[in-house]
């Protein structure tokens, strides 16, 4: 596992004290893509650490400061994307077993699987079973749809 080397003689800053799992690997890959780490054409399995963003972009030059700001912004975007991925949102109301059953069913019937639609259907069925669906309103909607 790759380790993040903290700046400020090991005391760390707010960026490197962030304990998010996999941060060192993510930042290493970010630096490779941005070609900030020289002599690494591909990911080197022998590398066991990466320095804090403040150490790597230590220079006071405006272009280096901008690179540091860009790296920090990229990390914030990555973290927020991780929390809000559509897969996690789609699976929010469905258990793992239900999701697996839906996937198997879709595969068996050779049809595409839309988990968001499945959530809507399952939520409707659950509300209907609990008697929370107003059938009068539903019938009015159906009548209006028939007229159009």
Q: What is the CA radius of gyration of the chain?
A: 25
Q: What is the DSSP string of 94-111?
A: S-HHHHHHHHHHHHHTT-
The predicted structure's pLDDT at residue 39: 54
The predicted model gives 67-78 an average pLDDT of: 86
- Which pTM does this prediction carry? 0.48
Average pLDDT of 41-66? 78
Distant-in-sequence, close-in-space partners of 78: CB < 8 Å, separation ≥ 6? 26
The answer to whether residue 56 scores a pLDDT higher than 50 is yes
Residue matched to tokens 């960026």: 15
pLDDT of residue 90: 47
Residue 46: what pLDDT? 66
């Amino acid at each position: 596992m790759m380790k993040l080397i903290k700046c400020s003689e090991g005391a760390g800053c707010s960026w490197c004290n962030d304990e998010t799992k996999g941060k060192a690997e993510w930042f290493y890959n970010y630096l490779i893509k941005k070609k900030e780490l020289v002599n690494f054409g591909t990911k080197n399995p022998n590398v066991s650490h990466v320095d804090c963003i403040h150490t790597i972009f230590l220079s006071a030059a405006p272009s280096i400061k901008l690179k540091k700001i860009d790296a920090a912004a990229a990390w914030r975007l990555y973290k927020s994307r991780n929390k809000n991925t559509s897969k996690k949102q789609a699976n929010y109301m469905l258990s793992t077993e239900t999701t697996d059953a839906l996937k198997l069913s879709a595969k068996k019937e050779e049809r595409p699987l839309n988990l968001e639609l499945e959530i809507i259907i399952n939520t409707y069925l659950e509300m209907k079973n609990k008697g929370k669906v107003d059938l009068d309103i539903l019938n009015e909607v159906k009548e209006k749809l028939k007229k159009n």
